[in-house]
Structure 1
Amino acid sequence: MKTKMKAIAAAVGTVMLFAAQQAAAESTYGYETNALNPVTATSRVTITVTTPKLILLRVGVPGATWQTVNLGLTPDVQTAPGPLPTTVGNSQAATWDGNAPVFTANTVNVNAFLWHNNNGNAQLTCVVGTPFPTLAASAVTVSSLAGGLQHPGSDTTCATPTTGLARNTVHTGTWTYGVSAAALTSAMPGSESQTVTYIATTL
């Protein structure tokens, strides 16, 4: 008896399952006794397109290793257009006029690219992960070409986030790294490095 009841319960469950599956699909009909009149039946399907959120950021050369920006200082031992020391050695002839030397630094251009498909905007920020041992982060200046992807601030203190970056647009910029005037006038011999991490974030 129990076996028969189990069989009946299983059959009822199967029928209910089929009924539930049929109810999941919309089904309608049109009915008209007059063959000259039109009839209509409709059925709807919901289609969902799912797109993942993606943001891309490139600063400098592509690849797994980040770009190194070398900012070398060059001394001028007399007022321009005097000669620059170029040869390593001791007791070399010089025409120093008694004025303090002036240090100049080369500049390095770095290209930056950002793209995202967020339903809002995105922003670009940066932080100093490994700081200079003695120099301040503000010793490195960064200028951006007008009309492009702006650097997050005028130096590597990263004080001003770049915001309002619209979706589905390749934002590009050229950033010029240099050395501040204050750092040039207080330059000490040696080499220091810092690492700056740029962060693109959807808002």
Structure 2
Amino acid sequence: MRKQHFFQNRVAAVALAVGALASTPALAESTYGYASSGTGTVTANARVNLSVTVPKLLLLRVGSANTVVDTLSWTSGYSIPAASTVPTTGNNTAVNWDANAPTATAGTQPGALAVTAWTNAGSGTINCAVAAWSPASGGPLNSNFTVNSSGTLPHPGANLGACQSTTFPSNALAASTWTYVLGGTPASWSAGSYTATVTYTATGV
């Protein structure tokens, strides 16, 4: 019983000692100067080390904020010669067709996307990659999508078939508008709905 009481007292003493150390302010070094004659200048130096940690941050926004992924859509258009008739939904509609191939266009081009990036890393880069189209063939090619940039953040590649890395400055907001223009030869595309996702990746080094 005495043993247990002694052990408990020792544990309590150790706990008090640790608590006292934890509440003690951090100590710098200490020195002294001394002149036995009582004359002249004496000095005593004490040093304190300073340390500042700046976390690395990288931000990228293409279009909408948060988890919203913008969708850019095109609907091809046709004109039937010779009267340049624009077809409308329906069946068995009479048309003055001269037996020549219709004229096809890529359709109305969607609006531009606002793009911004920022980093405090030594340098920032951004690149792009286009996932496989679904369905895989019959529609436009990646190279049919030209991307025009206006601002301080250039698109990584003149078109989506030539994605490459481009840089943006450190500690300065890079901002642009990217306009996606669909070209190519719409008259050669097969009917269907084609989808793909472009992924932009920013990197701070």
Inter-partner Cα distance in structure 1 for 2:104 and 2:81: 8
So what's the TM-score if we normalise by structure 1? 0.74
Q: CA deviation at 1:33?
A: 4.6
Inter-partner Cα distance in structure 2 for 1:37 and 1:94: 113
Inter-partner Cα distance in structure 2 for 1:151 and 1:78: 39
Q: CA deviation at 1:193?
A: 0.1
Alpha-carbon displacement from aligned partner over 1:108-159 (angstroms, at most 9, x marks no partner): 21111111110x21110111234342143223222212x4211111222343
Q: Describe the SS at the equivalent of 2:194.
A: coil
Alpha-carbon displacement from aligned partner over 1:26-79 (angstroms, at most 9, x marks no partner): 222222356564433221111111111111111111121311111222223348
Inter-partner Cα distance in structure 1 for 2:85 and 2:41: 99
So what's the TM-score if we normalise by structure 2? 0.73
Alpha-carbon displacement from aligned partner over 1:152-198 (angstroms, at most 9, x marks no partner): 112223432112x111111111111121223x231221110001111
Q: Pairwise mapping of residues 67-146 of structure 1 onto structure 2 (< 5 A)?
A: 67-78=70-81, 82-85=84-87, 87-96=88-97, 98=100, 100-108=102-110, 109-118=112-121, 120-132=122-134, 133-134=136-137, 135=139, 136-145=141-150
Paired-residue identity, % = 34
Q: Describe the SS at the equivalent of 2:177.
A: strand
2:62 is matched with: 59
1:189 is matched with: 191
Q: Which has the larger displacement, 96-105 or 45-54?
A: 96-105
1:151 aligns with 2:155: yes
Aligned residues: 177
CA contact (8 A) 1:106 1:178 kept: no
Q: CA deviation at 1:96?
A: 4.7
Q: Describe the SS at the equivalent of 1:176.
A: strand
Inter-partner Cα distance in structure 1 for 2:162 and 2:200: 9
Unaligned runs of 5+ in 2: 1-20, 22-26
CA RMSD of aligned residues (A): 2.9
Q: Describe the SS at the equivalent of 2:143.
A: helix
Q: Pairwise mapping of residues 9-20 of structure 1 onto structure 2 (< 5 A)?
A: none
Inter-partner Cα distance in structure 1 for 2:74 and 2:101: 24
Task: Pick closer, same or farther for the CA change 1:83–1:34 going to 2, 3 Å.
Answer: farther
- 1:72 counterpart letter in structure 2: T
- 1:54 counterpart letter in structure 2: L
CA contact (8 A) 2:114 2:175 kept: yes
2:47 is matched with: 44
CA contact (8 A) 1:107 1:178 kept: yes
- 1:157 counterpart letter in structure 2: G
CA contact (8 A) 1:77 1:102 kept: no
